[in-house]
A and B are shown apart, each in its own frame.
Chain A
Amino acid sequence: GQNIDQPTEMTATEGAIVQINCTYQTSGFNGLFWYQQHAGEAPTFLSYNVLDGLEEKGRFSSFLSRSKGYSYLLLKELQMKDSASYLCAVRDRDTDKLIFGTGTRLQVFP
C-alpha cells in the first residue's frame, strides 16, 4: 500500500530549530518533496531528495534515508513567517503518482 505519515501539529519558538519528520511506505520510490503552504495559499516547493543524505538550502535542510523510508525537514532560526503547513510528498516509482501526506501545521510563537 501507499502511506505517508507526518505529525499533525508542532509548535516552536522564534529563533529555535524544529525538525518535521515524514515516514513513507510506497510500492516504489522515485524522490521525496517538501512543500510549504501558508493558510489560504498555494503550496510552494522547498526541497527535493532522491538520494540518501542531507540537502541544505539556507535555513532549511531536508534529509532522506531510503532504507528506513524516512525523511525530515529541518528549519533553523525560526521566524514568525515560518508558521505554515509543511507537506511531505513521495513520487511512487511504480505508479509515477505524487502522493502527499496530510501535512504538519507548524506554529511559531514569539
Chain B
Amino acid sequence: KAGVTQTPRYLIKTRGQQVTLSCSPISGHRSVSWYQQTPGQGLQFLFEYFSETQRNKGNFPGRFSGRQFSNSRSEMNVSTLELGDSALYLCASSLIAGEGNEQFFGPGTRLTVL
C-alpha cells in the first residue's frame, strides 16, 4: 500500500506570493491533517479535514487555508507569504478522525520564503 505523498517536496517563494501544497493520503484514509514544523516550535497543528469538511483548525492566521476533495486528497494554500512561513509542512492521514487513530505522515514539503 502506497504511503502518504506530498508535492512538491521543495519550494522557494518570495514574500507576498502565494503557494499551494498537495497531499494524497493512504488509500482508504478519509482524514487528513496538516502541520507546520519549525526548529523552534516543533509541530504546530494547522487543520484537519474529514470527508471534505474541516473538522478542526489550529491557531494560524486566515492566510492559511485548506480543502479536501471527494477522493480525500487535500490541498493547503498560504497567501501573502511572509518570511516566517518558511518551514516544513507535513500532511498526515488516518482512517477516520480523532481519538486514538494513528496518523501516517508524508515526507513533507520544505517551503523557503525569501
Cβ–Cβ contact B42 & A48, under 8 A:
no
Q: Which of B35, B42, B90 contacts A101 (CB 8 A)?
A: B42
B64: Cβ under 8 A from any A Cβ: no
Size of the A side of the interface (Cβ < 8 Å), in residues, is 23
How many Å from the CB of B9 to the closest CB on chain A? 11
How many Å from the CB of A45 to the closest CB on chain B? 5
Question: Which B residues touch A91, using CB under 8 A?
Answer: 98-100
Cβ–Cβ contact B103 & A45, under 8 A:
yes
Of all chain B residues, the one with the shortest Cβ separation from A98 is B45
B33: Cβ under 8 A from any A Cβ: yes
Q: Interface extent on B, as a size class?
A: 20 to 34
B106: Cβ under 8 A from any A Cβ: yes
How many Å from the CB of B72 to the closest CB on chain A? 18
B41: Cβ under 8 A from any A Cβ: yes
Question: Which A residues touch B8, using CB under 8 A?
Answer: none
Pair count A-B, CB < 8 A: 55
**Cα separation A103 to B40 with both chains bound (whole Å):** 10
Cβ–Cβ contact B42 & A87, under 8 A:
yes
**Cα separation A28 to B42 with both chains bound (whole Å):** 21
Cβ–Cβ contact A48 & B102, under 8 A:
yes
Question: Which A residues touch B40, using CB under 8 A?
Answer: 102
**Cα separation A43 to B102 with both chains bound (whole Å):** 12
Q: Most A CB atoms within 10 A — which of B44, B102, B104?
A: B102
Of all chain B residues, the one with the shortest Cβ separation from A47 is B102
Chain A 41-55, CB-CB to B under 8 Å as 1, else 0, gives 111110010100000
How many Å from the CB of B24 to the closest CB on chain A? 14
How many Å from the CB of A106 to the closest CB on chain B? 15
Q: Give the 4 A-B CB pairs with smallest separation, nearest first.
A: A102-B42, A42-B105, A100-B43, A31-B100
14 A-B pairs with CB atoms under 8 Å apart are A30-B98, A30-B100, A41-B107, A42-B90, A43-B105, A44-B105, A45-B102, A45-B103, A87-B43, A91-B100, A96-B55, A97-B56, A101-B42, A103-B42
Binding site for A on B (CB under 8 A): 4, 33, 35, 40-45, 48, 55-56, 58, 90, 97-100, 102-108
